[in-house]
Amino acid sequence: MTMRSSSLVVVPAREGRAFPLSAGQRIQISDVEGGQVGDVFAFVRDNPTEYHSAAHTRAHVDRLFPTLGEQFVTDRRRPILTLAEDSSPGHHDLLIPACDPARYAALGVGDSHPSCAENLHAALVPLGVSVDVVPQPINVFMYVQVNTDGTLSWLPAPTRAGDAVVFEAALDCIVVVSACPQDVVGINGGRPTPLAVELFDTAG
Ligand SMILES: [Zn+2]
């Protein structure tokens, strides 16, 4: 399918941005320097009380972690995104909630540390949208391993510079991408870096 680029936005390290998408549009999220996790949220554009739900998606696809072609569904079990392309090593987490002020306070670095939860709310302000929830995100490039004893290992993102995923919108939606500010737990190698986002329309 021939695509044409419609915009390119750098999401600075530790910040978030929101992107309105129409059904059929694609959003590419690239790891600029490598080793960076992105928290991805998706809300139905004309009714943000409906949003991507990690729990409902796991039940929909019978998997713990996203794979190429995976359909992500809302809390009302409607497809909202599809993982259309993936040039990364393929590790994306669907178990861990967004980092938030309470998480950083518990880690001993205070509650004024930037977080994906606060990035979500701030990113929606320019669109005039506010939400009461912080849904569990799709954590692109985040490598969480489930061990045989049931424990989880939070591993550094194995992405290289330029690795990217592409999601296709199944509904008109708002996608929020947060370049995760986590620098206490080692998922970003202790050094948060930017992500690049590009939107594509189908040529026609
Ligand atoms: Zn985060």
* Structure confidence by residue, pLDDT tens digits, 28-64: 999 999 999 999 999 999 999 999 999 999 999 999 9
For residue 145, report the distance from its CA to the centre of ligand 1, in Å.
Answer: 17
Cβ atoms of residues 110 and 132 within 8 Å? no
pLDDT, position 186 = 93
Q: For residue range 100-157, what is the model confidence (pLDDT) as tens digits?
A: 999 999 999 998 999 999 999 999 999 999 999 999 999 999 999 999 999 999 999 9
Distance 121 CA to ligand 1 centre (A): 13
Query: From the CA of 39, how far away is ligand 1's center (Å)?
Result: 6
Query: Residue 1 C-alpha to ligand 1 middle, in angstroms?
Result: 33
Cβ 177 vs Cβ 38: under 8 Å:
yes
Tens digits of residue pLDDT in 77-89: 999 999 999 999 9
Contacts of 84 (CB under 8 A, 6+ apart): 26, 69, 166, 167, 168
Starting at the earlier edge strand, list the strands of the sheet with 3-11.
3-11, 195-202, 26-31, 164-169, 79-86, 71-73
CA of 200 to the centre of ligand 1 (A): 26
Q: Which domain holds residue 53?
A: 3-202
Looking at the structure of the chain, the number of domains it has is 1
Q: How far is the CA of 93 from the centre of ligand 1 (A)?
A: 12
Q: How far is the CA of 179 from the centre of ligand 1 (A)?
A: 7
The overall pTM is greater than 0.75: yes
| Residue 87: per-residue pLDDT | 98
